[in-house]
Structure 1
């Protein structure tokens, strides 16, 4: 399953906010055997978001969009996703009920709260609402596009509610070595040539080790490749933390 991640927000491009959502999602998808084929950051530009959603929806098995939900002027994601599928926004009654309950729950603490509930509960017509348990703005599923909030806590909770939709046959094996990267090249190249696996080497200068990762779809082949490579290089325990 090939998945594209589309993360939305001017704050990501300016460096004001770290794009932790993309890293977290990529890790969770990889754990489920899916392949993250693209990660793209785009600004709060309705036309650009709509264009990329349409393009990626056609090119990949699934698209996850994060960020730009809510009622502030820079929250343009829902409008853009609706445009990508040539649909209008419509109030979703399930989302509306949930938002009303959330607002009432905090009204004692925020007695002057004013919110356009219909606007908050509007998602592309005929899409499936995704309730935002820790927050307010709902997400949605429209065809193969999953629209999630940008706030990490909310995004993670909403993703877990649809995680079963993502999977695949990609597996990996990871181990570590203190051998300098340049000295590993012949053995890494030979591993990739000998076995049907992809080989990656990722140096970490701080702890002075290299992380070796083998990726493939056949667990038996992965195990054979990992054993073959371990027999040729000295490995060390995984770093703590």
Structure 2
């Protein structure tokens, strides 16, 4: 399963916010057996979002888009996705009712905050999804996410993203298998073995340098679990590993 990630936010491009969502999603999708084939960060610009989604939805099995799904002026992600499909944003009655009830509970639990800041939520903006999309709702996120023909639209706030991802996590199962070993050897000493393992077993082998006091890593990935296991065993016999192998 080939997956593309599109993370949305001016703050990501400016470096004001670290893009932890892409790293977290990459780990989760890889662990599920999917292959993250692209990671793209775009600004809060409806046309740019639409262009990226339109290109990626035809090229990959799934696209995960995160960021800007609320009701503030710069939250244009859902509008961009709708534009990519040539559809309108619609407000499902059931989603609006869900968010209205949620807003009422919040107001009852936080009367001082509501009075102090004169909070006036645009429930239609929070509830809107591209026409034909499947809404995604969680307790952690106020805004509705959605799924539209293999495009998954989720919040940018990490805790909200993680909760919403769990509601669809089973849809990202793939056949990729990975084994990782740690080594104190420098990357330059691994080139010949890594190259030979790739050719001999038909798997992907990546080497990653030491960082601070942590050892380096050699990562074996492939669609055939037996080939991955054989390649990893072959490498462990030929390179120094952190556990003394």
**Which residue number corresponds to residue 201 of structure 2?**
195
**Which residue number corresponds to residue 169 of structure 1?**
175
Distance 1:181 1:83 in 2: 45
User: Residues 141 and 155 of structure 2 are in contact (CA less than 8 Å); yes or no, is this contact kept in structure 1?
Assistant: no
User: Residues 186 and 210 of structure 2 are in contact (CA less than 8 Å); yes or no, is this contact kept in structure 1?
Assistant: no
**Which residue number corresponds to residue 19 of structure 2?**
19
Superimposed CA distance per residue, residues 180-217 of structure 1 (whole angstroms, 9 cap, x where no aligned partner): 22111111111111111111011123015210100111
**Which residue number corresponds to residue 39 of structure 1?**
39
What TM-score do you get using the length of structure 1 for normalisation? 0.95
- CA RMSD across the alignment: 1.3
**Which residue number corresponds to residue 85 of structure 2?**
85
Q: CA deviation at 1:132?
A: 3.1
**Which residue number corresponds to residue 145 of structure 2?**
139
User: Residues 90 and 124 of structure 1 are in contact (CA less than 8 Å); yes or no, is this contact kept in structure 2?
Assistant: yes
Q: Which runs of 5+ in 2 are unaligned?
A: none
Distance 1:144 1:115 in 2: 29
Superimposed CA distance per residue, residues 22-71 of structure 1 (whole angstroms, 9 cap, x where no aligned partner): 11111110011000010000001111100111110011000000001111
Moved over 6 A (4+): none
Partner-residue secondary structure (3-state), 2:7: strand
Distance 1:21 1:13 in 2: 14
Q: Which runs of 5+ in 1 are unaligned?
A: none
What TM-score do you get using the length of structure 2 for normalisation? 0.94
**Which residue number corresponds to residue 8 of structure 1?**
8
**Which residue number corresponds to residue 62 of structure 1?**
62
- Report matched runs for 1:192-231 at 5 Å: 192-207=198-213, 209-231=215-237
Distance 1:78 1:179 in 2: 47
Partner-residue secondary structure (3-state), 1:204: coil
